[in-house]
A and B are shown apart, each in its own frame.
Chain A
Amino acid sequence: MSTFFSQTNMLLMSVWSCFFGQDEEDGTEMGEGDEWMQGKTLIKPLDQLDLTEAELKEEFTRILTANNPHAPQNIVRYSFKERSYKPISSVDQLAVHFVLEGNLLHQDSDEARRQRAKQGLPEGRYDFQSTHAAGGEDAGDVEEGGGEERADSVESKAGKKEQKITNQFNFSERASQTLNNPLRERGCQTEPPPRANFSATANQWEIYDVYLEVLQKQEKNKEKAKAVPKKDDDKGKKKMMLVETQSDDITKVAKVAKIIERMVNQNTFDDIAQDFKYFEDASDEYREQEGTLLPLWKFQYDKAKRLSVTALCWNESYKDLFAVGLGSYDFTKQGRGMLVFYSLKNSTFPEYIYPTTSGILCLDIHKHLPYLVAVGFYDGCVAVYNLKEETLQPIYKSTAKSGKHTDPVWQVKWQKDDMDNNHNFFSVSSDGRVVSWTLVKNELVFTDIIKLSLAGAVSEGPEGVQLPIMACGTSFDFHKQIDYLFLVGTEEGKIHKCSKAYSSQFLETYNAHNMAVDAVKWNHFHTKVFISCSSDWTVKIWDHTIKTPMFTFDLNASVGDVAWSPYSSTVFAAVTTDGKVHTFDLSINKYEAICQQPVVAKKKTKLTHIEFNPVYPIIIVGDDRGYVTSLKLSPNLRKKPKEKKGQELPKGPEVEIAKMEKLLSLLREPENSNA
């Protein structure tokens, strides 16, 4: 290494000596030149010139100048001043052999300061001593590089912040590769769970349905919790459940089938339905005092063809439902009977059918409990049917032991519940007893209210005991307001006014008719007035305080039934055995019927009963062929009092009472004046 250094040194020196213009190449100053020269052996090239000795001794002068041989010597430039080309005297003789641009900066220069600022090192001079020491330490590491390197490393070490700046020159990336674990795939397949497509809608009403179901279930659970001790009932219920599920196919359609039947009927009898609802006879305006009855539906049941209608009753709660009792009035032709319920919505088939062993003579539907029906039979029994029950048998029936009548029961009527909240009803019969029946648990308990004895008539019984002869009661009616007051019509033609309190005496007796009193009815509005009809062809209207009738009407035929209208105190209707319906309105015509209309096709049919519908302007008429005809009352028959000019139309029962009272007062005054 040292030799190299000296050699380079020598080279430099020789170059410099050339430049300074030494003429001779003399190696006297450089001792080492000879050594350098001696390193080579002289080899004569083959094509060297052969020169003579004289030519060899010729001295050639070599001059080394500092002139750049390559530099041009005759550069001419145009001079604008002299307007001619002039040669330049001095030509640049500098020959650049090598250029290397360095990147050293003075530490106080602007650029250096900027760089320091960038690197985050604080400005200012460094402590050279410490840096030198640091530099010295690093010498071993750094010696391989150039001097510039040292400056950098110094800088890097001397930073006040101990921030390690990556070495830009001697930076080696080190990386090592860890062992990659070989990957292995492992999988297992299970059986896919069974799938099914499910779709549903969640509407507001479906949510409501579900909530309802939950509610019902909860209620059932509550009931079950209560009924746990009753195990027998549960068993019974279970059996019921089984039966239901077996026959669920068609029976579930029952309700729907009923609706459909009604719809079909509505279609078939569309015109009748329209008439019922909307038809008002316009010709009534021209007929001042007359009215008409428009026939609507006709109800008949196949199996009841031979029976006659013996009782009619509208249901108070279901205004389109009415009951028909079927039996026979003929003493010789006594057979079975039927209890049939019809709805106006379906005129072809009854809603409920109950066949009975004996003919029915009367029936009454409870005012508040529309499913309880009391029935009186020809054989003297009374029975109570519950329409809610599935069975065709009555829930209560009186037997010979329990005090049934010995003669046909002509009238039954429900009463208000007694003090123990038991239902009770009254019945009147030809055996002369008015009996009260009370439904106590599972029994019918009877109480004789009154015995209708013929006044004065006494017959001789066995052993000489004098037995009073009983009158035969054929009809009765209870007062609308005064609970204990009732009227009984007898076969002898008398009407007795009785009280529930007095069991042996009558309050009053009216000699009403010559024949049996078929019907007696209190007026719906006026508390004093009642009407009676009889087979002696007459209909009579009474004031119960007066012993003689107020009005008497002769209808030319045996009167089967009479009924007051529920909408007016002066309108009533009667049916006769010649097939006519007579309608009277006392406020219009006191002497004659405003409507006399034959209702049945065949002349021989006798009309047996009549009832007004409490709400609709229709009446039902039963005849002895088992038909029930419904008729609509024309407007003239439904007249309400005329409004006076300027005054409001008075409404309510008071008006009706006033109307009647007015009529009666007209009759009473002449009587008073006569008396």
Chain B
Amino acid sequence: MAEVEETLKRIQGQKGVQGIIIVNAEGIPIKTTLDNSSTVQYAGLIHQLVMKARTTVRDIDPQNDLTFLRVRSKKNEIMIAPDKDYFLIVIQNPSD
């Protein structure tokens, strides 16, 4: 348990990381370092995206599964790592 906390702290301390959100399988954010409104917005939108991406990958080959998803935009990069019950969202600005 403490290891995971430490890992999250390290991620937060990395250069350019703006926020971390942990969302559960239903799309409800459990833990976040951003403010409430942004968190809810991110969680809702990204949840749908992840589901779509996952179904795409698995429809092509059911034995395959989504490992992670990167959405790079002009201002920052959103990294999503889905798990069976949770997924983790990290927003980083890599050029900082």
Q: What B residues does A265 contact at CB under 8 A?
A: 14
Asked if B46 is at the interface (CB within 8 A of a chain A CB), the reply is no
Query: Is the Cβ of A264 less than 8 Å from the Cβ of B90?
Result: yes
| Proximity string of chain A (267-279) to chain B, C-beta cutoff 8 Å, 1 when within and 0 when not | 1101000000000
Query: Is the Cβ of A204 less than 8 Å from the Cβ of B81?
Result: no
Q: Which of A264-302 contact B (CB under 8 A)?
A: 264-265, 267-268, 270
Minimum CB–CB distance for B4 against chain A, Å: 5
Query: Is the Cβ of A256 less than 8 Å from the Cβ of B88?
Result: yes
Q: Which of A214-237 contact B (CB under 8 A)?
A: none
Query: Is the Cβ of B14 less than 8 Å from the Cβ of A255?
Result: no
Q: Which of B1-24 contact A (CB under 8 A)?
A: 1, 3-5, 7-8, 10-11, 14-17, 20, 22
Contact of A256 with B1 at beta-carbon distance under 8 Å, contacts A204-B58, A208-B62 already known: no
Query: Is the Cβ of B16 less than 8 Å from the Cβ of A268?
Result: yes
Asked if B55 is at the interface (CB within 8 A of a chain A CB), the reply is yes
Of A253, A261, A264, the residue contacting B83 (CB under 8 A) is A253
Q: What B residues does A249 contact at CB under 8 A?
A: 30
Asked if A139 is at the interface (CB within 8 A of a chain B CB), the reply is no
Of A205, A208, A253, the residue contacting B88 (CB under 8 A) is A253
Minimum CB–CB distance for A342 against chain B, Å: 14
Q: What A residues does B70 contact at CB under 8 A?
A: 263
Q: What B residues does A486 contact at CB under 8 A?
A: none
| Proximity string of chain A (227-263) to chain B, C-beta cutoff 8 Å, 1 when within and 0 when not | 0000000000000000000010111111111111101
Minimum CB–CB distance for B48 against chain A, Å: 14
Of A204, A251, A258, A263, the residue contacting B59 (CB under 8 A) is A204
Asked if B42 is at the interface (CB within 8 A of a chain A CB), the reply is no
Query: Is the Cβ of A259 less than 8 Å from the Cβ of B67?
Result: yes
Q: What B residues does A208 contact at CB under 8 A?
A: 58, 62-63
Number of interface residues of A (CB under 8 A): 28
Of B14, B59, B67, the residue contacting A348 (CB under 8 A) is B14
Contact of A256 with B14 at beta-carbon distance under 8 Å, contacts A205-B59, A205-B62, A270-B94 already known: no
- Complex alpha-carbon distance, A513 and B62, angstroms: 62
Asked if A168 is at the interface (CB within 8 A of a chain B CB), the reply is no
- Complex alpha-carbon distance, A208 and B1, angstroms: 31
Across the two chains, which residue of chain A brings its CB closest to B84?
A252
Minimum CB–CB distance for B77 against chain A, Å: 6
Interface centre among B10, B63, B67, B82 (most CB of A within 10 A): B10
Query: Is the Cβ of A251 less than 8 Å from the Cβ of B4?
Result: yes
Minimum CB–CB distance for A217 against chain B, Å: 16
Across the two chains, which residue of chain B brings its CB closest to A209?
B62
Query: Is the Cβ of A252 less than 8 Å from the Cβ of B1?
Result: no
Minimum CB–CB distance for A343 against chain B, Å: 14
Q: What A residues does B11 contact at CB under 8 A?
A: 257, 260-261, 264
A sample of 18 more A-B contacts (CB under 8 A), given A205-B62, A207-B62, is A204-B58, A205-B55, A251-B1, A254-B4, A255-B83, A256-B82, A256-B87, A257-B4, A257-B11, A257-B81, A257-B88, A263-B68, A263-B90, A264-B92, A265-B14, A267-B16, A268-B14, A268-B15
